[in-house]
Structure 1
Amino acid sequence: MVSREETLIKLQSKAPAEVDTPERVAARKAMIDEKDNLALERLIGQNDMFPMHYLERGLLAGKSVCRIVIKDEGGRTLGFGTGFLVTPKLLLTNNHVFPNTETASKSSAQFNYELDIHFNARVVQEYRFQPDKLFITSKELDFTLIAVQDTSASGVNIQEFGYLPLIKQKGKVLLGEYVSIIQHPRGDYKAVVLRENKITDMLDDFIHYSADTEPGSSGSTVFNDEWKVVALHHSGVPDPNHEGQFIANEGVRISSILHYIEQQKPSLSEKQQELIKELGEDIESTPTSQPQKENTDNEDIVAEDFALERFESLAGYNPQFLGDNHTVPHPTLRTDIKSDAAELNGGGGNILNYTHFSIVMSKSRRLAFYTVVNIDGKQLKNIGRDDNWRYDPRIDRDYQIGNELYKRNPLDRGHLVRRRDPIWGTDAATANEDTFHFTNCSPQHELLNQGKSMWLGLEDYILNHTKNNSLKATIFTGPVFRENDILYRGVKIPEEFWKVAVMVKDDGELSATAYLVSQKQLISNLEAAAFGAFLTFQVKVSMIEALTGLNFGELHNHDPLEQSESTTLGQLLERVEDIRI
Structure 2
Amino acid sequence: MAEAPGGRRKVVTNRHVAKLVARRARDGSGVFLRSPIGARYSANLDLREEVDSAPGNAFTLPVVTILYMADDTEADVALLEIEVREGLAPDPVPLAPRRGRDGELVGTIGYPAFDDRNDLSQMRQYFNDLYDVKRFAPGLIMTGGEGTVLSHDCTTLGGNSGSCLVSLEQQAVVGLHFSGEFGIQNAAVSSETLKDLLSSSRPTIGGLALAEPAEERADGVHSANDMSNRSGYQPNFLGDGTEVPWPEFGEEIAADVAQPSDATEERKYELRYTHFGVLYSKHRRSPRVTAVNIDGENSRRIKRGDDQWFFDLRIDRDLQLGQGAYRDPEIDRGHMVRREDPN
Give the TM-score band, short-chain normalised. 0.3 to 0.5
Query: Rg larger in 1 or in 2?
Result: 2
Provide TM-score, normalisation by structure 2.
0.44
RCO greater where, 1 or 2, for CA within 8 Å and sep 6 or more? 2
